[in-house]
Amino acid sequence: MTTNSLSGSSNRLSQLSSSLKQLFPRLWDLFVNTVLQVRIWDKAYPGLMHVLIFGGVAIQVLGTIVNLTQMQLFIPLLELPFPRGTGYLIFELVMDFAGLAILIGVGMALFRRLVLRPKTLESSWDDYYALTMLALIPLVGFTVEGTRFVSISPAWAAWSPVGNLVANLMRAAGMTPDSAANLHRYLVFTHVLLGLAAVASIPFTKLRHLIYTPLNIFFKPGRDSNTLEKIDDIEEAEILGVGKISEFTPNQLLSFDACVHCGRCEEVCPVAFSGMPFSPRTFIQSMRQAMLTTLVNPNGNGQQDDELLGSVIPEETPWYCTTCGACLDRCPAFVNPIDEIVDLRRYQVLTTGKMPKSVGDVLRNMERQGNPWGMPPEERISWAEGLEVRELMPGDETDVLLFLGCAYAYDERNKKVARAMVRLLKEAQVEFGVLGLDEMCCGETSRRLGHEYLFQMMVEQNLELFASVKFNRIVTACPHCFNTLKNEYPQFGSHYKVQHLTEFLAESPIQDSAFSPNGNDLNGRLTFHDSCYLGRYNQVYKEPRQLLNNAKVEPIEMSKKGENSFCCGGGGGQMWMETDPNTRINHRRLNDAIETGADVVATACPYCLLMFDDAIRSKGLGDQIQVMDIAEVMVNQLGGDRE
């Protein structure tokens, strides 16, 4: 065998191994989210309802396949051994209970739609069509079973309790074995027709989710939902963003069909909750309608693959989203509206130039000054005046590279937090340094606002800067920088360990004896807000609370906390956009904090800090409640000056 042949065989084996490594996690995802339906169980009633219907249908389908293999319709090799004796009795019992489960589930669904009527649950004709078909098939099936029992009176009829009950009712009504036998053959035919009609209608009704949802779960992008898709070879790319429905990827088009219009995304969307004219469900359904119109009737009088913005949806629609990720966590079909939102933003920013004025202003600030605040770059290190913070030069070494980010460097309120951070790191005896005037924006804001080209330029410059010094890890207190450096920079070859400040301090704790109430004790008066990019995107929930407990502060929890936390309204570039005073998300979140009775709300994100501060000032509640960063809370408990 030649060297080339050996090399080729090795490459094929490597590709096969890689494919198998990707296959097994996808199959597991499919099992967990399609068969076990774990995301449905966040609410008990709809969870039980879906499991009864899905489980019943799955068992009935498998049982029907077993029954069909006993008929003379298949070649002998396809015939399965049919259970006899006790096995057959168990089979009958399971099939009976499966049909009953479907009927109970359908009854629960109708009660939910007609009586409970949740605010975000919308109903259309195909909802009732699907429920009607799901009910008719087992009802006719039980009637078939009843006529069979009346005609042959099997000794084991009790093993099919529902079918036996129907048979007894038929006998009580005067049905004879002969008439039951005659009726039986017509009912079997009707049962088969109903089943075929249900299957044939799948592509045209909400029953399509039986096919599209599992496919969408299996083929969803391998990257995490906290990471946006990279535009490869952006200098040469012909399409920047998405302006027409045909420019979405096949996976995205599949996700539009996978959406079942259930409203779970809308229930948790802070934008929809606050009364803005946006809903992730409506957005996805608009994309689906455009897809169907374009693909089904591309040359007729329908839509001709026109631009989406301005015809299918208003031009301002993509700019409402805060990219908080709540919809991604709740969607049982794993539909990701954020990907499509950012694609539309990219098109507006990089192709048409049509964007809100505030977006254009902040992007110009980033292009000219290197930060969204538009502050002179020479002021980036002014926050550290008098702190004797080490500024790293090319070739220097340190354990921790403290990446401040623009908020802590330029915003006056957050500069106080930066100084508190330094106090904590010194108290923990950490060897750290900063990049000083050389530090650049991580680019998160530009990427979420759609300026992928500017983002990639900043990534390239930052990676060159990181390579000029030696360190063991990057630590940042900004969840937006944290998510970008940890999850998105690896798309460009980054290999650095990145931690949020709360994670790092939880590993390198300050001595408990250093904390003591000093007249400003916050215990019992503080509530903690989970920021979206730290909590939901990166699952950092435990560490901030651990630090507060170490500092002898036990927070009062808000009703919406952890993975169910409510957005502050500052993500996805919303920090820089104008908002109607009547629909401000930060005002809703402040109300959550006030309801706890706490007079301090703590956070671990500079954007959240500013959004809470803005809400407090706007409502004139400065005497009732204040907002502090977790670093400030800890310094307060150390007995230090909060400035």
Q: Average pLDDT, stretch 80-89?
A: 69
Residue 74 has pLDDT above 50, yes or no: no
Q: What is the DSSP letter of 33?
A: I
CA distance linking residue 71 with residue 346, whole number of Å: 58
- Mean pLDDT check: name the lowest of 76-80, 378-382, 427-431: 76-80
pLDDT bin (cut points 50, 70, 90) of residue 78 is very low
CA distance linking residue 182 with residue 163, whole number of Å: 17
Q: What is the pLDDT of residues 194-239, one digit of tens each?
A: 999 999 999 889 899 999 999 999 999 888 888 999 999 998 888 8
pLDDT bin (cut points 50, 70, 90) of residue 75 is very low
pLDDT at position 22, please? 80
- Mean pLDDT check: name the lowest of 29-43, 161-175, 427-441, 590-604: 29-43
Q: What is the mean pLDDT of the chain?
A: 89
Residue that wins the pLDDT comparison between 83 and 244: 244
Share of the chain above pLDDT 70, in %: 90
pLDDT at position 304, please? 63
pLDDT at position 20, please? 62
Q: Average pLDDT, stretch 371-382?
A: 94
pLDDT at position 283, please? 96
Residue 10 has pLDDT above 80, yes or no: no
CA distance linking residue 142 with residue 99, whole number of Å: 8
Share of the chain above pLDDT 90, in %: 73
pLDDT at position 13, please? 57
CA distance linking residue 400 with residue 505, whole number of Å: 12
Residue 18 has pLDDT above 90, yes or no: no
User: What pTM value is reported for the model?
Assistant: 0.88
pLDDT at position 172, please? 94
pLDDT at position 230, please? 94
Q: Average pLDDT, stretch 177-196?
A: 92
pLDDT bin (cut points 50, 70, 90) of residue 551 is confident
Burial class for 468, CB neighbours closer than 10 Å (0-12, 13-18, 19+): middle
pLDDT at position 15, please? 55
Residue 518 has pLDDT above 70, yes or no: no
CA distance linking residue 481 with residue 584, whole number of Å: 24
Half-sphere exposure of 642 (CA within 13 A, CB side): 14
Residue 1 has pLDDT above 60, yes or no: no
Closest Cα partner for 577 from 313, 278, 352? 278
Residue 642 has pLDDT above 80, yes or no: no
Q: Average pLDDT, stretch 337-349?
A: 96
pLDDT bin (cut points 50, 70, 90) of residue 509 is confident
CA distance linking residue 58 with residue 63, whole number of Å: 9
- Mean pLDDT check: name the lowest of 68-72, 174-178, 453-457, 475-479: 68-72
Domains within the chain, CATH numbers bracketed: 33-214 (1.20.950), 233-355 (1.10.1060), 370-507 (3.40.50), 513-638 (3.40.50)
Closest Cα partner for 504 from 544, 532, 466? 544
Residue 97 has pLDDT above 60, yes or no: yes
Q: What is the pLDDT of residues 233-267, one digit of tens each?
A: 998 888 899 999 999 999 999 999 999 889 999 99
Q: What is the DSSP letter of 124?
A: -
SS3 state of residue 555: coil
Residue 244, by phi and psi: left (phi above 0), alpha (psi -120 to 50) or beta? beta
CA distance linking residue 524 with residue 541, whole number of Å: 19
Residue 8 has pLDDT above 70, yes or no: no
Strands, E, within 60-157: which ranges?
none
Residue 11 has pLDDT above 60, yes or no: no
Residue 138 has pLDDT above 50, yes or no: yes
Residue 493 has pLDDT above 70, yes or no: yes
pLDDT bin (cut points 50, 70, 90) of residue 443 is very high
Question: Which residues does residue 628 pair with via DSSP β-bridges, in sequence order?
Answer: 602
CA distance linking residue 409 with residue 32, whole number of Å: 44
Q: Which two tokens stand for residue 137?
A: 């098939």
Q: Which two tokens stand for residue 583?
A: 């629909």
- Mean pLDDT check: name the lowest of 71-85, 316-330, 552-566, 621-635: 71-85
Closest Cα partner for 77 from 69, 89, 88? 69
- Mean pLDDT check: name the lowest of 18-27, 29-38, 634-643: 634-643
pLDDT at position 301, please? 52
Closest Cα partner for 365 from 445, 253, 283? 445
pLDDT bin (cut points 50, 70, 90) of residue 556 is very high
